[in-house]
Amino acid sequence: MRRFEGYAVMLTGAGRGIGEATARRFAAEGARVLVTDLDGERAAKTAASIRADGGEAESLACDVAERADAEAAVAHAVRSFGRLDVLVNNAHSCNRDTPLFEDQPDDEWHQDLDITLGGAFRCARAALPHLAAADGRGAIVNVGSVNGEQDFGNHAYSAAKAGLAGLTRTLAGHAAPRGVRVNLVVPGTIRTPGWDGREDTLRRAASVYPLGRVGEPTDIAAAITFLASSDAAWITGVTLPVDGGLLTSNLGLRRAFGHRAASEEA
C-alpha cells in the first residue's frame, strides 16, 4: 500500500528511534521525506539509508529550540519537494528528575519544555500555511507520551507532553477550517536506542503491560502514518494511546488484590 504517493513529509527528531521508523514507513508508502534531527550526521545517515532502500529522502540538521532552524527546515522541505503535506513533531528532551523536586534546575526544566513543547509550536507555526495549501490533506501528528496522561516521573518532560496534548486540541480547532488535521499519538515504553544497556529494565517494564511487552518504534510509526493518511480523514484533535494497554489497567494493583493475568495462569 502506498498511501502517501506524491506527499511531502517533514519529521523532527527523526535520526533514530520512533522518528527514524516513521520516516522509513512514510518513504515505503511513497512519501518524499525530510529527516531532521539536532544531530545532522544522524539525520543524514537515516536519509541515506532510506534512499538506499529506494525511497526519497533528504536530511537537515535542525534545533527546534531555535525559531530560525524550524522555519529553515520547513522552507527546505517546500523548496525541495514543492509542497508540504505532513508535519510530524517528534523531537523532545527528557532530563532526569532530581531526588527532591525543589532541587530541579531551572535550565533543565526550560530545556524540556522548550524543545518538547516549544519545538512543536515553532514547527507547526512555520508549517501551517503550507499544510493549509495542501489540497485538504494537510496534517500534523504530534508525538506525546503516557507521561503526559499519568504519573510516571520526569516532571518537566511530563508537563511538556501534557502541554503538547493541550496544544494538539486547540490547534486542531483552529486548523480544521483551513483543511488541516492535528492529532496526538501517545506512546508507552518503546524500545529505542535511549534504552540501550538497560535491557533488564525493559524486561521488568514488559511485565506491567497488559499486552505483555514493551513497544517497538514500528508500532508508533504505524499509528502516526494512519493519523496522517486519508484513512483518518475525519479524525482531528484526538489523543491516541499506543501503549499496550498501560493506561487502561493497573496490573500492580490487580496483583495486589490477587488477580493474575491470563499469561501468568497458563
- Report the SS3 class of residue 127: helix
Of 122, 124, 93, 129, residue with least CA distance to 109: 93
| 209 is annotated as an active-site residue | no
- Report the SS3 class of residue 51: helix
Cell numbers found for residue 35 = 529527516
Cell numbers found for residue 94 = 527528557
- Helices 17-28 and 40-52, axial angle in degrees (round to 10): 30
Q: How far is CA 156 from CA 11, 36, 99, 188, 190, in A?
A: 23, 24, 14, 17, 19
Q: Which of 157, 215, 236, 240 is catalytic?
A: 157
DSSP state of 97: P
Residues taking part in catalysis: 157
